[in-house]
Amino acid sequence: MSVFTGAGVAIITPFKENGDVDYEKFAENIELQIAGGTDAILVCGTTGEASTLSHEEHLDVVGFCVKQVAGRLPVIAGTGSNCTATAVYLSQEAEKLGADAVLVVSPYYNKATQQGLYEHFKMIADSIKIPVILYNIPGRTGVNIQPKTIVRLCKDVENIVGVKDATGDLSQTAHLLALADGCVDVYSGNDDQIVPMLALGGKGVLSVLSNVAPRQTHEICAKYFEGDVEGSRRMQLEAIPLIDALFCEVNPIPVKKAMNLLGNKGGTVRRPLTEMEPEHAKVLEEEMKKYGLI
């Protein structure tokens, strides 16, 4: 059974000016997502700036999200690391905190072999009982989980159920789904490829766009699954200029700026990220206006 179908938000972690997690804003953002029809919440992913959270902060944020959501939709905790033992620890703790599933990124910098990736993910999955979604984003990690490796993991390990595919390579995704024969749930990791991924047999998206447009992102998926492919396609294309603006600088710099444009809901970013360049911020604001968000 799939962890979710539709549009899951890769939710931001709002910070105060002093750098602390702003739990009041975080609670507000979670409620906005639920009210907007979001189908799942991914907490402490790339967009949540997990790489600059201490382990204690990381788990506090996961636990807070689980309590705030209170079972109203699935909570997926980002628990990946380039150290297998650390990923095991974070995954076990997330399970104890009540996360419904974990998202585990491929180990970055180490550049493991395909066998190394297989063993890494298997060790993590074997240490917990909740579902595991792999996260393939070679542009950030420097390593590509090959389709054969993903299918092997989903067939060999009961609780490895799918992959967030942020390769941007639809040909590779097609090969993956052809090999999978239904054993791999594929979620788009790119907001500009939601409909193409659904057309290939994907289950939905883990989305940055959903932070600012939860209802629209949900509807892109919902319309497709209801059979309104043309409506889904149209909504996907209408969102492209805004999506481009949300990725004109490294994620999550633009989406945090966008959340602040919606009413100071993003807070600051942690170094080494910096605030959005003024010329890019102007374009983002213009696209948000055109899209009807502000």
Tens of pLDDT, residues 187-213: 999 999 999 999 999 999 999 999 999
Q: Which of 25, 118, 135, 224 is catalytic?
A: 135
Q: Which of 16, 96, 108, 164 is catalytic?
A: 164
To 5 degrees, how large is the angle CA 154–CA 158–CA 162?
40
Q: Could you tell me the residue range of the domain that residue 42 belongs to?
A: 6-214
Q: What is the CATH number of the domain that holds 70?
A: 3.20.20.70
229: exposed, middle or buried (Cβ count in 10 Å: 0-12, 13-18, 19+): middle
Assessment of whether the complete model's pTM goes beyond 0.95: yes
Tens of pLDDT, residues 92-131: 999 999 999 999 999 999 999 999 999 999 999 999 999 9
Tens of pLDDT, residues 225-237: 999 999 999 999 9
234 in a structural domain: no
260 in a structural domain: no
235 in a structural domain: no
What is d(CA 77, CA 247) in angstroms, rounded to the nearest whole number?
Answer: 23
Q: How many domains does the chain have?
A: 1
- For this structure, is 164 an active site residue? yes
Residue type, position 264, single letter: N
- For this structure, is 135 an active site residue? yes
Pairing status of strand 101-105 against strand 75-78:
parallel
Strands (E), the chain: 6-10, 40-43, 75-78, 101-105, 132-136, 160-165, 185-188, 204-207
264 in a structural domain: no
